[in-house]
Amino acid sequence: TADGDIDNTASVVSTEITTPQTSTTETPITQAASYVIAKTVTAVDAAGNSVIDTAGEIIAYQITVNNNGNQTINGVVVTDAMLTDLARGSDNTGDDDNLLEVGETWVYTGTYTVLQSDIDNNGGGDGDIDNTASVVSTEITAAQESSVDTPITQDASYVISKTVTAV
């Protein structure tokens, strides 16, 4: 009844005592909303050498959110600023009811297209493309995050050619 406990009342009557005698007990409920977010790279540079070394290469990501608490979670929102095509697939229970139920896992996918600036600045100077996803919900308003880094290989190279044009 939304008062934080389970109320249970028993009553007894008999032939001799027709006025019911009752006893009530309240058992507290502890709600523990909890989930885990995990982000992984599922494919790098599907067109070639599995190394990020050219603008236009695509990194594919998977983000999972698993309810490891003891209550259903509402209003789950997963965001990832780098993935413009972030999409949620079916959940592991197949009910797709937009409620992250206890034990349920939602799987999201998305891609990032490597920019020339990513390679030129060596991933912001640390040698990889850093990508973070976050999740919030009605019950858990503090964002939880998961990050993954994809290494960049810089290969500065040029060719010089000298020819005689006149003698």
Q: What is the pLDDT along the chain (167 residues), one digit of tens a residue?
A: 678 788 888 999 998 888 989 988 888 888 899 999 999 999 987 666 778 889 999 999 999 999 999 999 999 999 999 999 999 997 888 788 899 999 999 999 999 999 999 999 998 999 999 999 999 999 999 999 999 999 998 888 889 999 999 98
- For residues 33 and 69, is the Cβ–Cβ distance under 8 A? yes
Q: Decide: residue 53, CB within 10 A, 0-12 exposed, 13-18 middle, 19+ buried.
A: middle
CA pair distance 39, 42, nearest whole angstrom:
9
Q: Which residues lie below 8 Å from residue 127, measured CB to CB, with a gap of 6+?
A: 151, 152
pLDDT at 47 (0 to 100): 64
pLDDT at 74 (0 to 100): 96
The structure tokens listed for 138 are: 């009605």
pLDDT at 1 (0 to 100): 63
The number of residues in the chain equals: 167
Q: What is the pTM of this model?
A: 0.81
- 132-148 burial: b if 16+ Cβ within 10 Å, else e: bbbbebebbeeeeebeb
pLDDT at 91 (0 to 100): 82
